[in-house]
Amino acid sequence: MPEQPLVHVSTHPLIQHKLAALRDASTDLRSFRELMRELAMLLCYEATMDVKLSPITVQTPMGAAPGFKAEDTIGLVPVLRAGLGMLEGIMQLLPNVQVWHIGLYRDEHTLRPVEYYNRLPTEPTVQVCFILDPMLATGGSAVATVDILKRWGVTRIKYLGLIASPEGVQRLSTAHPDVPIHVAAVDERLNEIGFIVPGLGDAGDRQFGT
Ligand code: PRP
């Protein structure tokens, strides 16, 4: 089987159209949340292209029909707070998933992630984890989240985000070369305070009005 590319930057026209609207500083709170929900769904569609299927038979009103059932047990891992905006839409697509929240914030001075919420049980309960976090800036939070999930015992992990910096992609793919990265864009750079430029500002603040 050909090897999957590690970094998937979506070229889907709907994703690119919605991403531009999301970035726009004049987009209001309600539209911002709606766009984030829709973008997450579209990215999830692309990131689930390799979900394992098993053949099944279903009964239609006319008889037996061959079909497929998704086999993988998927866990969604929204990184608080900003990852919450990607959760609802994906849960609509994948209603039977488990959701395991991870709380991390970035220390303003060191830019290092600080863990403040993690209620993972001792043994892993899912086979695949999708980390949801719209912004891959320095990559510190993403690397820390993958570290947490690998310590938990999950080996198949994907990162789903909206905007990445080249530095963040580099850091995550160097630390965890086995974790595919799905994003809508890789922007120009990080600025001196660790924000993605041009990015969209602070994804948590823009969706929660803070
Ligand atoms: C943002 C974002 C990521 C992190 C990315 O969260 O949602 O979690 O920063 O930065 P990094 O790649 O440099 O680690 P933030 O710390 O602002 O917390 P919030 O979502 O609660 O606002």
Q: Is 12 exposed, middle or buried (0-12, 13-18, 19+ CB in 10 A)?
A: middle
- Output phi, psi for 100, to 5 deg: -120, 105
Residue of 106, 107, 205, 207 best suited for mutating to test ligand 1, as the one with most atoms within 8 Å of CB? 106
Residue of 135, 159, 193 best suited for mutating to test ligand 1, as the one with most atoms within 8 Å of CB? 135
What is the residue extent of each domain of the chain? 74-210
Per-residue pLDDT of the chain (210 residues; tens, 9 = 90+): 445 569 999 999 999 999 999 999 999 999 999 999 999 999 999 999 999 999 999 999 999 999 999 998 999 999 999 999 999 999 999 999 999 999 999 998 999 999 999 999 999 999 999 999 999 999 999 999 999 999 999 999 999 999 999 999 999 999 999 999 999 999 999 999 999 999 999 999 999 999
CATH number of the domain located at residue range(s) 74-210 in this protein: 3.40.50.2020
- Inter-residue contact 43 to 179 (CB < 8 Å): no
Task: Give this prediction's pTM.
Answer: 0.95
